Chain A
Amino acid sequence: MEWLKVLKEDILRFLKEKEGNKSSLEEIAIESKVAKEDVIEAVRSLEKDNFVNFEKQEVSLTEDGKKEAEGIYEKHNLVESVYGHQIAHALEHYAMKDMKKAFESASSPKKLKDFKEQQIGFVVRLSIDNPMVLSRIIGLGFAPGSYFKIVKKRDDFLVIESHGRLVVLGREIGDDIEGVEAFEDASGRTA
C-alpha cells in the first residue's frame, strides 16, 4: 500500500506545517489532492499508529506524531531546498526512500573537498553560479541526490566516482559542491 504510506507522510507534514492547529478532513483532501475517503482511511491508520487524534472531523498531532512529523518535515525541507518544491514530493517518497536514514543522520552538509578519500556521500547542494560549469557538472552525474565516492584527493584536483564513471574536478570546485556522508547500509548501493 505504497500510496497510503505516501499519503500518511503527507498528512503528518501538513499538520506539522499548521503548527499545532487542528485541520479538517476537507483541508487535507485539498492539500493532498486526493479524495476525502482516502484521507479518512489514512487518518484512521495514523490514529492506530498513535500519531494523530481524530475527533469531531478534525485532526491534530499527538506527541509521538509531532516527533514523527519533525523527521519527515526536515527531510522534506532538505529535499525541497535542493530540488525545488514539486520534485521534492515525488523524490522523498519514491526515489529517496532508502536515503531517509542518511538524510536524517546528516546534521549539515559539508564541502566535497572536506570528504576523505574512499568516503561515500551524496550531493545535496551545488553553489555553482556559472551556468556552463553547472550544466557540465550535472551532465557528468553530480545532480543533487546522486552518490559519489572520493577516489583520490590531490592538491590540484579531486578524482571522484559518480555512477560508475571517474570524473576529475579541479580543486576549486570542491568548495562549491556540498554533500552529506552516506552509509552503505542505508543506501544499499555505493556510488
Chain B
Amino acid sequence: MRMLLVGQPNVGKSLFLNTLTGAKVIVSNYPGTTVDVTEGRTKVGDESWEFVDTPGIYSLTPSSEEEKVTYRIVLEGNYDFVIHILDALALERNLIISLQLAELGVPFMIAVNFYEEALKKGMKIDLRALEELLGVPVVVINPFKKEIEKLKNAFKSVKKSNYSIQYDDHIEEMIEIIEREIDYEGKFSKRGIAVKILEEGDMVCRLLNLNKFENLKERYRGVHPNVTKDIVITRAGYAFYISQKILTYKEERANKLNLLDNFILNNPIGSAVFSLSVLSLIFLGLFYIGGWFQDALGNLFEGYIESLSAYLSAYHPLLDVLVTNAFIGLAAGISIAVPYVGIFYIFLTFMEDTGLLSRFIIALNGLMSRLNLPAKAIIPLMLGFGCSVPAIKSTRILSNFKDRFKVAILYSVVPCSSRNAILFGVVGHYAGIGYLILTYFTLLVVFIITSKILGIVVSKERLPLVEEMPPYRMPVVRNLLVKAWVRMEDFVKVVIPLLVAGGILYGMLDYYDLTAFIVKPFRFLTVSWLGLPANTVIPLLYGFLQKDLVIAMLANAMGTYDFGTVLSKFQIFTFGLASSAQIPCIIAFGMFIKEFGFKRALIVTFSAFIYGMLIAGLIYRLIALI
C-alpha cells in the first residue's frame, strides 16, 4: 500500500512518517526541484505500508514551488490513497485541502493532529460530523506514537468523498461544458479535473495530457472575468461553512504577542537586533564548533597520511603522490567541508523546526526590501552559506525569474561552506578572528552594493510579504537530524568524490611539474595586483575546479600547512577575499547553466571572477594605505 501524506506546513507529516517507519527512510529530490520528498516503509503483518511525505502546502492550488511539487505528486496518481494530516487548531484553512481532495475524487482519509491542544484551548470539534459530511474516515493521531491498529482500521474504510461544492452559476455552466468535451478517462473525477482546468489550467493539462479550454474562459470573460478567484473563494467559503458546523469555541483566547515575538516585531530595532543575533550565532557556531572539528579531524588525518606516505614512498613516488593527494582531498572534505556544512544545516533545520526561521524572514523583511530582494530570498541566500550548488537550485522557491537570477548572481559574494572553510580554516586560523571578521564585513559591504546595483540593472518589482508565524515548538532531535542529513546528503555524496578526484589530478600536475606553466602568466594578477606570492595562482585558479582543495593546494604550493610562516596575515586576508568573491566552482557553474542558460552562466561567472579580483586588489591597496 502506498500512501501520500498531504497537509499544510508544520502539521506533523514528517514526524508521523518518522515515527511509523523508523530509520528506513528513503530520501529523494523530486526531479527538477530541490524540494525534498521523503519516503518510508514499514511492515505490518504481511502488508507493506509505504508513506510518501510531500512538501507542506496551503492548498492544492499551486502557488509556490513546494505546492507545485505536491500538486504534481497528487495528480500523477502513483499511490493508493492520501492521508490528509489536519491541524485541529486551524481547522478552517486546513479543510480547504480536504475539499480539494474530495473534488478531485482522490480516495483519502483525514488524520487530525494537535487534537489534545485544541481541547485544551477550549475548542470542541465534532469529528463524527465531519466524517459524516465528507464520507471519509477521520481519526485523531498522535504522531509521537506508533498507532498501527487505529490506522489499519481507518485504512479499511478509506474512499472517495462525494461532498461537492456548488459554484456560481456561470462557473457551473463552464464546468458542465468542460466535463462534456473533455477527453479524460482516469482515476480522478471529471468534475474535479474540470474545476482544476478552470482554476489553473496549465499544470493539470500538461500532467494529464488534456486540452486547455482557454477559448471557453475567453468566451465567459464578459460575465465572469476572474474564474480562479471565484473558485478559490467559494471553496474557502465551504471550508468556513463546514468548520462553523463542526466547531464550537468555549474560551476567549488572549491574543497577545509573547515576549520574544513582541521584541522581534514591535519595532525595526528589535527586528534588526534579532536578525543580527541569529546571524552572529551562526557565525560563532561555525567558528568555534566547526573549528574544533577541523582541528580534531585534521590532526587525526594528518597522522594517518604521514605514515601512509612514508609507507608508500618506499614503493613508488608516483603512487605515493597520487594516493597521498587523494587522501588529502578526502581529509579536506571530512575535516573541513563536512563539519561546516553539517553545523550550518543543523542550525537551519533547528530554526525551521522551532518556528524561528519564519520570524527571521519577517524580521529581515525591511532590510531585504531595501536590498530590492523579496524577504523569502533569505532562505536560498542562507542555503548559499551551505553549498552554492543546491542553493542555486533552491532559488526556485522564489516565483519571480528576475528575483531568482539576482539571488543566483549574489552567490558570488555569499561564501559557501567550501569558501567559509577557506576563510575560517586559513584566514581565521592563521590570521586571527580580526581578519576573519574584516573579510566577512568586506563581503557584506560588497553584497549590499552588488544587490543595489542588481536592483537597478535587473529589476525592482517584488511580491508582497505573506508569512505565517508558526507556533513555537520543541524540535524532535531525530526528526531534525534526518532533515539536516537530507539537506547535506547531496553535498557529501557529490563533493567528497570530487575532492578525491581533484587530489589525484593535482598530484599528477605536481609530479610531472606542470604547475609552473600556469604560475608564470598570472604573475601580473598575483604578484602585481594582489601582492601575493606567484604560486598562489594555483589554488586560486584551480579552486574553480575544486574549491575544497584550495587549502590543501595552498599548502602544496607554499610547501607547508603552517601558512603563518610563509604569508603575512595581510596576504592571507587578501588571498581569502580573492578566493571567495566569485562563482565558486565548476559544479555551481553547471547548475547555473541548467537553471539560467549557458550564456547567462558564462557572463556571470566571468564577470564575477574579474569583479572579485578587482575588489580584492582594491581592498588590498586601500588597507595598505592605512
Residues of A within 8 A of B (CB): 82-87, 90-91, 94-95, 126, 128-141, 143-146, 149, 151-152, 154, 156-157, 159, 161, 163-170, 172-173, 188-191
**Distance (whole angstroms) from the CB of B247 to the closest CB of chain A:** 10
Residues of B within 8 A of A (CB): 8, 57-59, 61, 63-64, 89-93, 96, 121, 165-169, 171, 200, 226, 228-230, 232-234, 236-241, 244-245, 249, 252-253, 255-257, 261, 265-268, 362, 365-366, 369, 399, 463-471
Question: Could you say which residues of chain A place their CB within 8 Å of the CB of B93?
Answer: 138-141, 143, 163
Q: In the complex, A95→B467 CA distance in Å?
A: 28
Question: Could you say which residues of chain B place their CB within 8 Å of the CB of A130?
Answer: 463
Are A152's CB and B257's CB within 8 A?
Answer: yes
Are B64's CB and A132's CB within 8 A?
Answer: yes
Chain A residue nearest in CB terms to B242: A95
Are B244's CB and A95's CB within 8 A?
Answer: yes
Are B64's CB and A83's CB within 8 A?
Answer: no
Q: In the complex, A190→B250 CA distance in Å?
A: 11
Are A136's CB and B90's CB within 8 A?
Answer: no
Q: In the complex, A10→B375 CA distance in Å?
A: 48
Are A172's CB and B241's CB within 8 A?
Answer: no
Are A131's CB and B232's CB within 8 A?
Answer: yes
Chain B residue nearest in CB terms to A99: B244
Are A132's CB and B399's CB within 8 A?
Answer: yes
**Distance (whole angstroms) from the CB of B122 to the closest CB of chain A:** 10
Are A135's CB and B468's CB within 8 A?
Answer: no
Question: Could you say which residues of chain A place their CB within 8 Å of the CB of B365?
Answer: 156-157, 168, 170
Question: Could you say which residues of chain B place their CB within 8 Å of the CB of A188?
Answer: 249
Question: Could you say which residues of chain B place their CB within 8 Å of the CB of A138?
Answer: 58-59, 93, 96, 232-233, 236
Are B166's CB and A169's CB within 8 A?
Answer: no
**Distance (whole angstroms) from the CB of A102 to the closest CB of chain B:** 14
Q: In the complex, A170→B234 CA distance in Å?
A: 24
Pull 20 A–B residue pairs with CB atoms less than 8 Å apart, ordered by A.
Answer: A84-B168, A86-B166, A86-B167, A86-B169, A87-B165, A87-B166, A131-B232, A132-B64, A132-B399, A136-B466, A138-B58, A140-B468, A141-B92, A143-B92, A144-B233, A151-B257, A156-B369, A159-B257, A168-B362, A173-B466
Question: Could you say which residues of chain B place their CB within 8 Å of the CB of A94?
Answer: 241, 244-245
Are A168's CB and B467's CB within 8 A?
Answer: yes
Given A128-B229, A144-B240, A159-B257; 5 other pairs, CB 8 A cutoff? A131-B200, A135-B63, A139-B61, A139-B96, A140-B466
**Distance (whole angstroms) from the CB of B50 to the closest CB of chain A:** 27
Question: Could you say which residues of chain B place their CB within 8 Å of the CB of A128?
Answer: 229
Q: In the complex, A190→B44 CA distance in Å?
A: 45
Question: Could you say which residues of chain B place their CB within 8 Å of the CB of A190?
Answer: 252-253, 255
Question: Could you say which residues of chain A place their CB within 8 Å of the CB of B471?
Answer: 165
Are B466's CB and A154's CB within 8 A?
Answer: no
A138-B232, A172-B464 as given contacts; A163 in contact with B90, CB under 8 Å = yes
Question: Could you say which residues of chain A place their CB within 8 Å of the CB of B121?
Answer: 164
Question: Could you say which residues of chain A place their CB within 8 Å of the CB of B200?
Answer: 131
**Distance (whole angstroms) from the CB of A7 to the closest CB of chain B:** 19
Q: In the complex, A178→B131 CA distance in Å?
A: 34
**Distance (whole angstroms) from the CB of A159 to the closest CB of chain B:** 6
**Distance (whole angstroms) from the CB of A171 to the closest CB of chain B:** 8
Are B226's CB and A144's CB within 8 A?
Answer: no
Question: Could you say which residues of chain B place their CB within 8 Å of the CB of A159?
Answer: 257, 265, 469
Are B228's CB and A131's CB within 8 A?
Answer: yes
Partner of B232 from A95, A134, A157 at Cβ < 8 Å: A134
Partner of B464 from A84, A167, A173 at Cβ < 8 Å: A173
Q: In the complex, A144→B467 CA distance in Å?
A: 19
Q: In the complex, A120→B168 CA distance in Å?
A: 29
Across the A-B interface, give the 8 residue pairs with the lowest CB-CB distance, nearest first.
Answer: A139-B58, A143-B236, A170-B465, A170-B464, A84-B168, A95-B244, A132-B63, A86-B166
Chain B residue nearest in CB terms to A96: B244
Are A131's CB and B63's CB within 8 A?
Answer: yes
Partner of B467 from A145, A167, A172 at Cβ < 8 Å: A167
Are A166's CB and B464's CB within 8 A?
Answer: no
Are A152's CB and B266's CB within 8 A?
Answer: yes
Question: Could you say which residues of chain A place their CB within 8 Å of the CB of B57?
Answer: 139
Q: In the complex, A167→B233 CA distance in Å?
A: 19
Question: Could you say which residues of chain B place their CB within 8 Å of the CB of A191?
Answer: 255
Chain A residue nearest in CB terms to B225: A129
A94-B244, A135-B232, A166-B468 as given contacts; A87 in contact with B237, CB under 8 Å = yes
Chain A residue nearest in CB terms to B366: A156
Partner of B90 from A144, A165, A189 at Cβ < 8 Å: A165
Are B237's CB and A83's CB within 8 A?
Answer: yes
Chain B residue nearest in CB terms to A139: B58
Chain B residue nearest in CB terms to A95: B244
Question: Could you say which residues of chain B place their CB within 8 Å of the CB of A164?
Answer: 89-90, 121, 253
